[in-house]
Structure 1
Amino acid sequence: MKTKDITYVALFAAVMGALGMIPPIPLSFTPVPITLQTLGVVLAGGILGARLGFLSQMTFLLLVAAGLPLLSGGRGGIGVFVGPSAGYLFSYPIAAALLGFILSRFRTLTLKKVLFVNLTAGVFTLYLFGIPVQAFIMDLPLVHTIKISLIYIPGDLIKATVASYLVYKLRKSTVVSRQFVKAS
């Protein structure tokens, strides 16, 4: 792996840690708080691509498993991987890889395409893993856990929209700068 790739992986692992320093919004009816770290997952996949996005999220989770309090609310250690939010954590590298893979398949990117991919492949993947694991750990019916999780949708729509705008602008500027360098 190139030094530049290692730097990007470490940078996005650090972004995830920085987003974890922003206090979570606890909810009285569920132990899974509202955090900004899902924004970092979507950014990692969209900006770094499938392989590096996956590696950045795995690096972040390994640091958390080692005990660093990088999750929102200062949580860390191996115990978080058996708690109610474990499914969401496990989905981080998968969602980043899936986002990066799908976005790489488009010849041209528009803001609408990026937003659609972020909502379907990103947010949906997080829920696909997070909700069933939360239901299992909390010993709740899946349908009840899905109803509880509806509270996260407005915030995730906002985070996906912000991430889509940033990914679109960064990818657009990168493509333009690459074409400029090739023309020179």
Structure 2
Amino acid sequence: MKTRDLAYIALFAALTAALGLLPAIPVAALPVPITAQTLGVMLAGAVLGARRGFLALLLFLVLVAVGLPVLSGGRGGLAVFVGPSAGFLYSWPVAALVTGLLVELLWRRLNVVTALVATVVGGIGVVYAIGIPFLSLYADTSLAAAATGSLVFVPGDLVKAVIAAVLAVAVRRAYPVVERPRRAATAP
């Protein structure tokens, strides 16, 4: 791993932390607030690619675990990994990985629409697929009730996905951080 890769990873972990400075919006029916930090998750995967995006969010979660108050509302420490929002946190590195894999897969055809597909599938689909079952478990509610209650997050997450897609395409054009996928070397 090059020094440049480490800098990108640290930069996107810091960007996700900075997005935590925006105030969380509490949701009356759920113990999970609406935050801007999932935008950082989508951007990490879409701009950095699968490997570096995953590592950026893993680094972010390590910073949370050691107690730095980098989550929205100034939260941090190990306690956040066992509450209702824990599954959403666990999903972030996986979501960045999936988003990055899709961006790399769609590299030749990457435009706002294909980048939007990547951010929606990775940044929303994966986050919900992992976060909702944890929410159901920790909130002691049915999976259906947790999923229905989580629908309140969809409009905001779609806005974040559009922002991430537009920014990822702009960054790719101006300064491509994700390298063009290389073809496998053919054996003689």
Shorter-chain TM-score range:
over 0.9
Is 1:5 matched with 2:5? yes
Cα distance between partner residues in 2 of 1:105 and 1:29: 38
Identity percentage of aligned residues = 49
1:54-133 matched pairs, under 5 angstroms: 54-106=54-106, 107-133=108-134
2:185 alignment partner in structure 1: none
Cα distance between partner residues in 1 of 2:123 and 2:34: 16
**Larger proportion of helix:** 1
Shift of 1:110: 1.5
State the secondary structure of the residue aligned to 2:134. Answer: helix
2:136 alignment partner in structure 1: 135
Cα distance between partner residues in 2 of 1:32 and 1:119: 20
Residues 91 and 39 (structure 1 numbering): CA distance in 2 closer, same or farther, change over 3 Å?
A: same
1:154 alignment partner in structure 2: 155
Across the aligned residues of Structure 1 and Structure 2, the Cα RMSD in angstroms comes to: 1.1
Shift of 1:174: 2.9
1:27 alignment partner in structure 2: 27
1:11-50 matched pairs, under 5 angstroms: 11-50=11-50
Which deviations, in whole Å up to 9, do the C-alpha atoms of 1:11-65 show, x marking residues without a partner? Answer: 0110011011111001121110000000000000000001100000000000000
State the secondary structure of the residue aligned to 1:139. Answer: coil
Unaligned stretches of 5+ residues in structure 2? 180-188
Contact 2:24-2:33 within 8 A present in 1 as well? yes
**Larger proportion of strand:** 1
Instruction: Provide TM-score, normalisation by structure 2.
Output: 0.91
Cα distance between partner residues in 2 of 1:47 and 1:124: 18
Q: Which amino acid aligns with 1:171?
A: R
Contact 2:46-2:118 within 8 A present in 1 as well? no
Cα distance between partner residues in 2 of 1:117 and 1:163: 10
Unaligned stretches of 5+ residues in structure 1? 179-184
Cα distance between partner residues in 2 of 1:64 and 1:122: 20
1:181 alignment partner in structure 2: none
Q: Which amino acid aligns with 1:42?
A: M
Contact 2:66-2:78 within 8 A present in 1 as well? yes
Shift of 1:173: 2.2
Q: Which amino acid aligns with 1:3?
A: T
State the secondary structure of the residue aligned to 1:10. Answer: helix
